[in-house]
Amino acid sequence: MRMLLTWAKELGCNYVRLAHYTHNERMLQLADEMGLLVWVEVPVYWTISWTNPETYANAENQLSVGVERDKNRASVIIWSIGNETPVNEDRNVFMGNLVDKVRELDDTRLVAAALEIEREGYKITVEDPLGDKLDLASFNEYGGWYWSNAKELPKYSYDIKFNKPVIISEFGAGALAGFHGDDDTMWSEEHQELIYINQLEMLDKMDGLRGMTPWILVDFKSPRRQNPVFQNFWNRKGLISNTGEKKKAFFTLQNYYKKKTKQYN
């Protein structure tokens, strides 16, 4: 855990997202010690049984236990109630109740979730109704990887319907450390690097942008990632490989953060 947070600081981060579940308490202790701000999250993820009372009780219990455990941590600045939950009325009620609960438990932190987005042409709209109850307009987007072409990213613009600080809670692309090609070659470090370069150009034009947590710092095991050559049951979106090798995109983002630090100091 100390190694991960040390890498985050080397990258130039002052803030990390602990997704998508409650992490070991030691991680928060280290964040306090090392001076990192933290987004804390519970595992309300994708599609679950929105109308099942037991499912809601489970989610509320995990949220309550986490807030009670970590509410006195100086590092914690955001309570997140979930990630990428598809918009429907039952979901809105479920998630809205979690917002009310966390505010009842602690009204001193920001409340967030990774909201849904909509795309049409080169316009990306953020109007997920859950955003009305949250403190941040925070959302995941994987331009250049799951949608669009990496070289098209600077053409996109955002229409964010909330007058709130914007946090990009996920963006990124996969690359196998040590695999090289031109910037059109999927899974190469050069392709991941190009996506980061063009993502950052696109995001710099966004009004209200106040932070980002690229997905993800380090490659991690995932049974859903089954490509036998490039994944082999690893999620390869890390800026650092599972063996600690920094990919080219790591240095692209590090340089971007250095420029931002100079700009605001």
Q: Which tokens hold the place of 14?
A: 């002052």
CA distance 175 to 219: 9
Distance in angstroms (rounded) separating the CA atoms of residues 30 and 73 = 10
pLDDT for 265:
79
pTM above 0.85, yes or no: yes
The domain defined by 2-264 carries CATH number 3.20.20.80? yes
Question: Please, which residues bridge with residue 21 across strands?
Answer: none
Number of residues that make up the chain? 265
Q: Which residues contact 249 (CB under 8 A, 6 or more apart)?
A: 173, 175, 189, 192, 193, 195, 196, 239
Give the pLDDT confidence score for residue 101 in this predicted structure: 98
Distance CA 215, CA 241 (A): 13
Report the DSSP pairing between strands 123-126 and 118-120. Answer: antiparallel
Give domain limits for the chain.
2-264
Average pLDDT across each block of 10 residues of the chain; the chain has 265 residues. List them in order: 98 96 97 98 96 98 98 98 97 98 98 97 97 98 96 96 98 98 98 98 94 98 97 98 98 97 86
Token pair of 28 as six digits: 């928060």
DSSP string over 107-125: SSSEEEEEB--EEETTEEE
